[in-house]
Homo-oligomer: A and B are copies of this chain.
């Protein structure tokens, strides 16, 4: 089934807001087996809305619209749809009750403008908005469908996942099963080369997509068929084969992150972690502490952005700094040992590098980064040569360091 998404809003056309709604919707629709053929972004203007609907109905079976449903005068989607589908506005008690519930919980009075939000065209199905005052509207037009939703992501998303997608797929006997495999440690093209025979052996009804991010490549397998259980088994078989092929590169599945996987490993082993960061300046700590409950295993960090802090607090020796410099294997070993002793943890990550844009030399160009992973008795190290761009270097160095710890764990 072909879908067109129409995003309405002047804020999208002046670049003030990035259209993340459309890509979120496209992802969800794609995962449920719909084919998004076009995304159109237009202004809050009657003629534009009508022209876009006419165009969309020429090719699409389903038209999904967001935006223009607010209470103020510049929001005209509802009135335009009312005209387009030759309807009259009627008061909808359920929508009004919903507004009363939302406002009551915040102690706000209900104005005439809010009351008008409970009016809907008389020939649409009303979709209750649990997180806002504007209801969604579902219009049938022969075999085709147009659905209008608010543009606020927090209101639109539950409408899509809880009602619209389930309704649209109700009579659909075909099934799709997805699994995402998370890899780190090599780039997209090298990974593709490593797994090309496995990929070529996938059956026709199982598709592979590469989803690259800085430092992480996600592989999404999608199996199409009619029996969910069989599809799930098939996916597991192929994942199992892939796991045998590149065991070192796979760190998790679906919604896992490197930091959540490390958190789980540390919790399971009942071990604690500290970090000593130089070039990443707290970003590793930020990733680790972005996981709820991380205080169970993460004790803290010393961010040593100056040599003095490396010496005075982490006890890196003067000789090391003079002879090898702050970006050296010797220095990260001493940083790791220093922070493990200071914070009394089982494991430590230490990192030092040149994030850029300045500070590079011929011997140590911008992007040179050393990582050490220590436990009570041993230290392992690794050198990375990253790129020229400061913010990407910080991100990639942090991912590389977390992955080193994961391997040790």
What is the interface of chain A, defined by CB distance below 8 A to chain B? 12-20, 22-30, 36-43, 48, 55, 209, 211, 275, 277, 280-286, 288-290, 292-295, 298-306, 308-309, 312-313, 342-344, 355-358, 390-391, 394
Contacts and interface: CB of A to CB of B under 8 A. Distances in A.
Given A285-B285, A290-B281, A305 B313 contact: no
A27 B14 contact: yes
B300 A289 contact: no
5 contacts: A13-B26, A18-B23, A282-B283, A298-B306, A300-B304
Contacts of A15: 23-30, 36
Contacts of A300: 302-306, 309, 313
A268 to B, nearest CB: 19
Contacts of A43: 37
Given A12-B39, A55-B55, A309-B343, A289 B281 contact: yes
B299 A305 contact: yes
Nearest to A274: B309
Nearest to A344: B308
Contacts of A13: 26, 36-39
Q: What are the 9 closest A-B residue pairs judged by CB atoms, nearest first? A: A281-B289, A282-B285, A15-B27, A282-B282, A15-B26, A39-B41, A301-B303, A282-B286, A300-B309
A281 to B, nearest CB: 3
Contacts of A282: 277, 282-286, 288-289, 301, 303
A394 B290 contact: yes
A270 to B, nearest CB: 15
Contacts of A37: 13, 42-43, 48
Contact of A38 (B23, B41, B390, B394): B41
Name the residue among A26, A344, A356 with the largest chain B CB count within 10 angstroms: A26
Given A298-B305, A308-B299, A14 B39 contact: no
A18 B26 CA distance: 10
Contacts of A280: 286, 289
A13 B29 CA distance: 10
A40 B288 CA distance: 39
A26 B19 CA distance: 12
A151 to B, nearest CB: 15
Contact of A306 (B17, B299, B312, B394): B299
Contact of A39 (B40, B312, B358): B40
Given A19-B22, A343-B313, A292 B390 contact: yes
A91 B238 CA distance: 46
Contacts of A299: 305-306, 308-309
B40 A38 contact: yes
Name the residue among A13, A41, A303 with the largest chain B CB count within 10 angstroms: A303
A391 B20 contact: no
Contacts of A290: 281, 390-391, 394
Nearest to A272: B306
Given A17-B23, A30-B15, A305 B292 contact: no
A21 to B, nearest CB: 10
A342 B313 contact: yes
A343 B14 CA distance: 46
Contacts of A358: 292-293
A43 B303 CA distance: 47
Contacts of A40: 38-41
B294 A285 contact: no
A292 B360 CA distance: 13
Nearest to A7: B39
Given A23-B17, A283-B286, A313-B342, A292 B357 contact: yes
Name the residue among A13, A14, A282, A290 with the largest chain B CB count within 10 angstroms: A282
Nearest to A27: B15
Contacts of A292: 356-358, 390
